[in-house]
Every structure is written in C-alpha cells, then in structure tokens.
Amino acid sequence: MADLPAIQYTVWPADPHGHRFQVKLHIANPNPDGQVIKMPAWIPGSYLIRDFSKQIEAIDAYIAGSTKQKIALERIDNDRWRLPRNAGAVDILTTVYAFDSSVRAAYLDTERAFFNATSLCLAVEGQEDLPCSLAITPAEGAFADHWTVQTSLRAAKTDKNGFGFYLAKNFDDLIDHPVAIGEFQTVQWMSGSVPHSIAIQGCIHPIDSARLAQDLQAICNSTINLFEPKSKQPPFTHYLFLVNTVLNGYGGLEHRNSTALLCRRDQIPQANVPLEEDAYREFLGLCSHEYFHAWLVKRIKPQAFQPYHLSQRNHTRLLWFFEGFTSYYDDLQLFRSKRIDLVTYLKLVTNNWNGVLRGPGRHKQSLADSSFDAWTKYYQADENTPNAVVSYYGKGALVALGLDLQIRAFSSNKKSLDDLMRLIWQRHGITLAGIGEDGLDQLILQLLGNGFTKTWNEIKARYIFGVEDIPLQKWIASTLVRVKPKHQSSLEKLKLQLGIRHTDVNGWIKITHILDGGAAQAAGLAPGDLLASMNGQRITPTRWDSVLNSLAKEQSFAILFYRDDLEHERIVMLESSQLPLQYELSPSSDSKSN
C-alpha cells in the first residue's frame, strides 16, 4: 500500500507447532543519532512488570527491503536495542515465543492465535506518537484454512477473513486492540445505535446466540444509559467481546473498544448442554465489568497513566476507584438490566462484604496503599497475602456502595453515585483530562456542596487512607434492605475459627494460607502442610466437611500433618472470639427495583 505510515508492523503466525510468531518492524525514518527500539515491560490494565522481551528468541536488523544486508544492533538492556547512526530505513525482524493462554500476552498453536501488541511489537523511541500500520498474515497449513481475524483495530485493506492491513493512530492505540485468530462463533447486536459483537472460541456445541445477544444488549444498554442518559451513545463506533473458552480459567482485560475474556466452556449457553445459571451469571458479570472499563480507566484515567510508561511501574493510589467502583457497578448493572433479581444481587454484595471481612490484611493495608503497591503485592500474591493485603477490587466496591448510600442519605435521594459518575465522565472522560490523586475531592463537593465535606473527609481518612471497616450495617439500615448478622452453622463457625485456606493435591488437603488470629496459626500449622487426620480421623478433600462436622462441638482436637515429609502433631484450641463478624442482606417487604 503506497500510503502506509512510516512505522509498519507485520505479524506472521510462522511456527504454530513451536508457538512462535515472526514480526517485522519497518522504520522509514530512524533517528540519525542512533534509533532506540524497545519492548514494553507490562500491559495497561494488568499492573505487574512482565518483561515481555524475555520471549524474544531472535532479533536482527536489515536495510529496508533486504534480508541479506544485516545492520549491527546494539543491546542496551533487557528491553532496549539501538541502531547505528545514520542507518537509514530499516526492517527489524524478531521471533517471539508465544504460549501464554491468558488475556495479557500472546499465544499460538494449531488451534488458535492471539496476541496483544505489547507482547510482539517493539516501540520506536521518540516516534510513539506517529501513526502506524499492522499487517496480519495467515498461518500456513490445512488446520488454518478456516481461520479468520477478530479485532477492533481499524481495517485499511483486508480480505474476507480479516487478514491484511490495519491502522492505528499511534503506538498507544496499537496496543489497545487485542487480535484473535482462528475459528469463532459470533453474535451481533445493537446498543446505543452502535454495533456490538462477541466472538467465541473453544465451544464445540452451537452457542445460544439469541440469549447471549439479549443479555449482553441489556447490560450494554444499561451502562450506556448510565453515562449518556440523553444521547444513549457510547464513546466508540463499535465494540468487540473476544472470548476464549477453556476447561478451567477466568479473567478479562479491558481495552478502549474491546475486551479479551477467558472463561470456562460451561459458562457459555450452548445447545444441548446443561447450563449452570450461577456460572453464566459470573460470565455476564465479567462482561459487565470489562465493558464498564471502556468509560472508567480507558477514557477516565488517572494522570499517572497519561501517558503510560511501559518500561516501568506507573504508580497511583486510585485503583480502589477505577477497579473498585467498576466492581460495584458490574453486578449493579446486572440487576438494573434485569439479568438478576434483587435477592441474587444482595447475595453478591453480601459475599463480597463478608469476603473482605474475613481478610486480616484489611486492618494492615489501606485501600490507597493497596492501589499503590498493586505491582509488588496484589499482583504478586503469596501465602501471606490475605494477612497483609486488602483487595482494592473488593473493599473498593464497598467504598462505592457506602458512598452511594451516603450521597442518597445526604441529598434525600435526589442524587446518587450515578450523578457523580456522570460528572466525572463529563469532566475527565469526554475531555480525556486525567484525574489527579486528589481529583475526586473537588468533583464530589461540586456535586453535593460544602455540606458534604465532613462526610467525604471521614470516608477518605477512615476507609480509604485508613484501615477501618466500612460500617455498611449502619448505613444500609436507612434503606429498603435488611441487614443483620449472618447465622452460621457449626461447620461454618469451625472453618472460620480454624483460619485455613487449602487446595486438593493428589487426594491430600494442602494448606495454602494460614490466616492471622486463627486457631490453626496458634497451633503452629503453616502453608504447605499436608493434613492427615483430626482426632484420629483420616482427612481427605471428600471427607473434609464430614470430619469437621464431627468436631464442631469440641473445644480442642489433635491434628496430624506432614511438613517436608516429616510427621507432626498439634493440639488445636478453639475460641469463639476468633470468629470474624459476618452479615447477610435481604430485601424488605416493600423493596423496589432501583
């Protein structure tokens, strides 16, 4: 194409059996002083240094248009290379290993191909703001005869299967459009007069297109109506849900007009396949969460992300807002779109609330610090994480609920958190002006007046920058929802007293976490221990509940376990004071949908 930009990328699924992409980067006008090229170290939306350059197996530079006239390429560090001075137009050829089945990186085999450009495409330092193109070529082999391309990138010249040339405004735009290649089942619908689609890989049986379209349309409409109640128009011209279904997996990553999702096959409604409604509801919640991000975090951003610095950590203390408020709205939008009823919605809120209350780390780490330290703590979880970390997703959602309740109470139900979100969208979303670390203060007071200052300052000091539990049991009392301490069975109480989290390993119960203040910690158990028996009764994953039930009325019992293949025995002492308080929510008799 004669009108291609000066920065051009070409991606080949070159070796599906060896899981290798080949990528060519053409630079028409390198810096004459020695052009630097660099591979991103992380991908926006997933706050962990991932060192994508480690998957580069080979990298070479050539005079443009030649594969024989090689140019010297200086290695600067793990992520950067430098061309010689006055190199002229060049082609950089890389071979990249791709076998990460998550939504964050790149994957290639004979079944499918997937990539985020952060995993394959080198940035041209100093030219990141220039337009660029991406050419996607088909894989060779009979297995790929029916492969097509699914991406939200702007097509320039493509064939009927989507292979060909795509355009991006700049490197930041390029990396914000994941690409999936293979065989798909697709569904289309309209929301806000804008085409939406979902492309699903991995399902053998025909998907229930009608139900998916109906449910996702309702959820998308609800979110559009929240931010644009008058125009009913989203801030994009099309939207794509890219879904990879597997035996066991779950996750999502947001992009400006698409999202990459990973879920279990049994979470998708399919013909002649029994569907567990709770599992499907979880999938819809994932779609709702990532779709909401198209407004909150992809367009409404912290100033710390403007621009992204992809070679280093980008710190902000606002992830409790960007992720926590999104987590509050993802389930709320399911309720508002009538995908779930009020009882189910309150159950979801209760489960999150109680889950936060069961984590000892909530009294050690504030939400602000959890946000700031996401790079080294939340995204690098270990056996001590529940004791040291509070989730900015979980507790952040509780802050959103609490703030919503306080706004409604203060304004006599004339305003709500919805009004604040719309104000934020007008000030920082449409304008793309990033939010400063204290930027919410002015917006909240602009919406509610100085009379709300004391309430907001208290929320910030005690529950965002402090480590106190949010008193939802008090704030919810004035609404049409009943809240009371949760009735716990003897088995539930015993599990809470023990303070153990575990997994099944070859028929053994293996401890993964020991919670601070629990009876198991007091008895000297530790992560990695394999539990053998309690009071002489053999423990297995299938017998766990029955054995605990038999001990529910005991004040103490002996536990036999193995640590490093050595047998140990401890006496576990139980105290009711060790129980964390749990709650349950239910609709009052005159509750109405909101």
Ordered DSSP codes for 129-169: TS-EEEEE-PPPSGGGTT-EEEE-SEEEEE-TTS-EEEEES
**Is the CB of residue 179 less than 8 Å from the CB of residue 153?**
yes
| Look-up of token digits 């008090």 | 474
> 490: which residues sit within 8 A by CB, 6+ positions away?
549, 552, 553
Angle at which helices 209-227 and 324-336 cross, to 10°: 120
Q: What pairing do the DSSP bridges indicate for beta strands 148-151 and 36-38?
A: unpaired
Q: How far is CA 368 from CA 178, 364, 389, 415, in A?
A: 30, 12, 11, 26
Q: Is 413 left (phi over 0), alpha (psi -120 to 50) or beta?
A: left
**Is the CB of residue 250 less than 8 Å from the CB of residue 266?**
no
| Look-up of token digits 């051009």 | 8
Angle at which helices 277-292 and 324-336 cross, to 10°: 120
Identical fold at 7-182 and 185-276? no
- Model pLDDT, residue 580: 81
Task: Give the whole-angstrom CA distance, residue 95 versus residue 101.
Answer: 18
- pTM, two decimals, is 0.96
Q: Which two tokens stand for residue 351?
A: 């489960």
| Look-up of token digits 């309702």 | 218
Handedness of CA 432, 433, 439, 440 (dihedral sign): negative
Handedness of CA 220, 223, 224, 230 (dihedral sign): positive
Task: Give the whole-angstrom CA distance, residue 558 versus residue 96.
Answer: 54
- Model pLDDT, residue 480: 80
Fold for 319-486, please state it.
Answer: Neutral Protease; domain 2 (1.10.390)
Q: How is residue 461 annotated by DSSP?
A: I
Q: Which two tokens stand for residue 357?
A: 């209350």
How many CB atoms are located within 10 Å of the residue 126 CB?
12
Q: Which two tokens stand for residue 177?
A: 């459009």
Q: What is the rounded (10 degree) CA torsion for 456, 462, 467, 471?
A: -80
Question: What sections of 485-532 are H helices per DSSP?
Answer: 490-498, 519-523
Amino acid identity at 198: I
Task: Give the whole-angstrom CA distance, residue 139 versus residue 12.
Answer: 7
Q: What is the rounded (10 degree) CA torsion for 64, 68, 74, 76?
A: 70
Fold for 490-578, please state it.
Answer: Pdz3 Domain (2.30.42)
- Model pLDDT, residue 593: 47
Work out the burial of residue 383: count CB atoms within 10 Å of its CB; fewer than 13 is exposed, 13-18 middle, 19 or more buried.
middle
> 491: which residues sit within 8 A by CB, 6+ positions away?
545, 548, 549, 552
Q: How far is CA 32 from CA 9, 85, 88, in A?
A: 21, 5, 8
| Look-up of token digits 């991606």 | 11
Task: Give the whole-angstrom CA distance, residue 326 versus residue 292.
Answer: 6
Task: Give the whole-angstrom CA distance, residue 362 versus residue 396.
Answer: 12
Spans of all domains in the chain: 7-182, 185-276, 319-486, 490-578
Handedness of CA 538, 541, 543, 548 (dihedral sign): positive
Question: What sections of 228-341 are H helices per DSSP?
Answer: 277-292, 319-322, 324-336
- Model pLDDT, residue 577: 66
What is the Cα Rg of the chain in Å?
26
- Per-residue pLDDT tens digits of the chain, which is 594 residues long: 457 799 999 999 999 999 999 999 999 999 999 999 999 999 999 999 999 999 999 999 999 988 789 999 999 999 999 999 999 999 999 999 999 999 999 999 999 999 999 999 999 999 999 999 999 999 999 999 999 999 999 999 999 999 999 999 999 999 999 999 999 999 999 999 999 999 999 999 999 999 999 999 999 999 999 999 999 999 999 999 999 999 999 999 999 999 999 999 999 999 989 999 999 999 999 999 999 999 999 999 999 999 999 999 999 999 999 999 999 999 999 999 999 999 999 999 999 999 999 999 999 999 999 999 999 999 999 999 999 999 999 999 999 999 999 999 999 999 999 999 999 999 999 999 999 999 999 999 999 999 999 999 999 999 999 999 999 999 997 668 999 999 989 999 999 999 999 999 999 999 999 999 999 999 999 999 999 999 999 999 999 999 999 998 889 999 999 999 999 999 999 987 667 889 999 998 765 544
- Model pLDDT, residue 479: 67
Task: Give the whole-angstrom CA distance, residue 526 versus residue 344.
Answer: 36
Fold for 7-182, please state it.
Answer: Immunoglobulin-like (2.60.40)
189 bridge partner residues: 196
How many CA atoms lie less than 13 Å away from 183 in the CB half-sphere?
A: 13
Q: Which two tokens stand for residue 465?
A: 């920058």
Task: Give the whole-angstrom CA distance, residue 491 versus residue 551.
Answer: 9
**Of residues 319, 185, 202, 294, the one with CA closest to residue 249:** 202
Angle CA(561)–CA(567)–CA(570) in degrees, nearest 5?
55
Task: Give the whole-angstrom CA distance, residue 310 versus residue 374.
Answer: 16
Q: How is residue 356 annotated by DSSP?
A: H
The values of phi and psi at residue 547, to 5°, are -65, -45
Prior bond to 307 cis, omega within 30? yes
| H or E element at residue 309 | none
**Is the CB of residue 226 less than 8 Å from the CB of residue 422?**
yes
- Model pLDDT, residue 592: 53
Class of 185-276 in CATH: alpha beta
Q: Which two tokens stand for residue 197?
A: 């689609």
